[in-house]
Amino acid sequence: MTKNGLVDEKIGQRVRIERPSGYDASIWIRSVTRIFDFQKRRKPMSEEYRSMWNELGLDLDAHDMLLGVLGKGYQDIYLAQKDRPEGMGYFDFVLSEVHGLRIKELMDEKAAGRKVIGSFCVFVPEEIVRAADATLVGLCTGADFATEEVEKILPRNTCSLIKSAFGFKLGKVCPYLESADMIVGENTCDGKKKSYEILKDLVPNLYVMDLPQMKSSEGRAVLRAEYFRFKEAVEELTGVTIDAKRLKKGIEIVNNKRKAIHRLSLLRKADPAPISGLDALLANQVFFYDDPVRYTDSVNKICDELESRIEKMTGPFPKGAPRILMSGCPMAVPNWKLPWITETSGAVIVGEESCVGERGTRNLTDDSGNTIEELMQAIIERHFKVDCAIFTPNPDRLAHVEEMFREYKADGVIHYGLQFCQPYIAESMPVEKALEAKGIPTLRIDTDYGMEDEGQLKTRVEAFIEMVKG
């Protein structure tokens, strides 16, 4: 082991993990050791955070169980991949510390007087949060937890994503939710809208943001009013008055991380793809948790490495491997089921038309304005372009799926709908019809977070991949 990196050749594959800037060497070495504990199937996180989790009110036994499952899943799905870019070591590190060091950082920020805001949706403008020196974090929504308890207060036919948010709350296993000074819910789909009426009694600090359902001038006015109301709420929470200088800085920080992840996305056009879809998805998922400046730096470093892989024509899948575009509902950590099934069936995923992917990050906020009014308007315009299926009609999404299919030289589209997600499942049929009419092979998958349908999904995905191979 060196001070800045660690090399372990005992695990069959050489792994080198660079220490990211901003991390103390001793913490880094401890954390990297924990990554190898993942690989050796030991307990993923040590005792040192237990008092912090206790103070946050987590159920330590349930939380241990969750971390055990997460560690095992990460081992089986991520660490089992071959020819990963070395830069993925950073994301392994972040995942190994997702409930540990990152929470400690948030607690330190809070102790220094800064605020943490939790969100469930890309419509919550991070620029405004950063402008007030606060931190926006995505809340845990990617795994089933305490489902029996959840189904006592939510209808069984609610999507897994919403149930997951409630399960993490009822099971007391989400340190992000427990450390948030404000939790922002948004009136997007009916499931979320109605569930916030119940969530407000479970958390002390829920703020609900209304959102338009149509891309009309009236819809834009709703978004405008809501973003100005949100700015005021953030100012009140933080005690910081957001002026143009602060907002410009907030836009710059968030734009930089969007640019970095978009750079990574564009590199996936190469054949062979320089990175697996699973690894690229992980980078997109970490977007919602990590310190934005450190994240930007780490993604750009991995992009440099991917550029050199492209020059050498190397990657985790051979040249000519079938290329798949995923489109549909967002996949939050640790929802890796469908990408894992797809990539262990011989295809490589080259893009995600999703909020944890291009839909969430492709657009930048214009930072040329000099007044609060101009900059706020730029934030409104940027977010008004997000083509979530809650909008009606929503033609831009189909156009983006087609555009990504062409640009990323995909061979087929897998449309991913979470069971009981009305907006995306309703759109999946016209999307499939329109794509098929243009000769684009499309597979519609509706699933949940359970593994019961793994075998059935694998059979369908393998057949689809065989078909697109021609």
Which residues of this protein are in contact with ligand BJ8, per CB under 6 A? 121-123, 159, 161-162, 188-189, 191-192, 329-330, 355, 386, 388, 390, 418, 421, 423-424
Read out DSSP for 296-339? HHHHHHHHHHHHHHHHHT--SS-TT--EEEEEES---TT--HHH
Min dist CB 138 to ligand BJ8, Å, is 9
Of 378 and 388, the one with the shorter C-beta distance to ligand BJ8 is: 388
Q: How far is the CB of 168 from ligand BJ8 (least distance, A)?
A: 14
Rank residues 296 and 327 by Cβ distance to ligand BJ8 and give the closer one.
Answer: 327
Kindly state the smallest distance separating residue 286's Cβ from ligand BJ8, in Å. Answer: 16
* Nearest-approach distance from CB 79 to ligand BJ8, in angstroms: 28
Helix or strand run (H / E) with residue 281: helix 277-286
Q: Residue 402 or 448: which CB sits closer to ligand BJ8?
A: 448
Tokens representing residue 362 in the block: 């492709």
Residue 260 φ/ψ, nearest 5 degrees: -65, -45
* Chain centroid offset of residue 186 CA: 17
**Pairing mode of beta strands 135-138, 116-119:** parallel
CB nearer to ligand BJ8: pick between 121 and 465: 121
| Nearest to ligand BJ8 of 101, 431 (CB atom) | 431
Q: Minimum CB separation from ligand BJ8 for residue 332, in Å?
A: 9
Q: How far is the CB of 305 from ligand BJ8 (least distance, A)?
A: 29
Euclidean distance between CA atoms 98 and 286, whole angstroms: 9
User: Distance (Å, rounded) from C-alpha 280 to C-alpha 351?
Assistant: 8
* Distance of closest approach, residue 351 Cβ to ligand BJ8, in angstroms: 16
Bridge partners (DSSP) of residue 349 are 324
How near is the Cβ of 360 to ligand BJ8 at its closest, in Å?
7
End-to-end CA distance of the chain: 48
DSSP state letter for 19: P
Q: Which is nearer to ligand BJ8, 276 or 354 (CB)?
A: 354
Taking the least distance from each CB to ligand BJ8, the nearer of 329 and 372 is 329
Q: Which is nearer to ligand BJ8, 22 or 155 (CB)?
A: 155
Nearer to ligand BJ8, 39 or 327 (CB): 327
Q: Rounded to an integer, what distance in angstroms lies between the CA atom of residue 467 and that of residue 378?
A: 44
In the complex with ligand BJ8, the residue whose CB is nearer, 195 or 238, is: 195
Task: Identify whether the C-beta of residue 325 lies closer than 8 Å to the C-beta of residue 413.
Answer: yes
What is the C-alpha to C-alpha distance for residues 20 and 101, in angstroms, rounded to an integer?
14
Would you call 452 exposed, middle or buried from its count of C-beta atoms within 10 A (0-12, 13-18, 19+)? exposed
CB 73 within 8 A of CB 334: yes
Amino acid at residue number 56: L
Handedness of CA 134, 140, 146, 150 (dihedral sign): positive
Continuous segment of H or E residues that includes residue 457: helix 454-469
Provide the minimum distance between the beta carbon of 164 and ligand BJ8 in the complex, in angstroms, as a whole number.
Answer: 10
User: How far apart are alpha carbons 85 and 309 in whole angstroms?
Assistant: 9
Report, in Å, the least distance between residue 385 CB and ligand BJ8: 11
Q: How far is the CB of 211 from ligand BJ8 (least distance, A)?
A: 8
Judged by beta carbon, residue 79 or residue 388, the one nearer ligand BJ8 is: 388
Nearest approach, Cβ of residue 423 and ligand BJ8 (Å):
5
User: Which CB, 96 or 327, lies closer to ligand BJ8?
Assistant: 327
User: HEC states along 333-399?
Assistant: CCCCHHHHHHHCCCCEEEEEECCCCHHHHCCCCCCCCCCHHHHHHHHHHHHHCCCCCCCCCCHHHHH
Q: What is each CA distance from 15 to 23, 36, 283, 298, 409, in whole angstroms?
A: 19, 10, 18, 17, 30
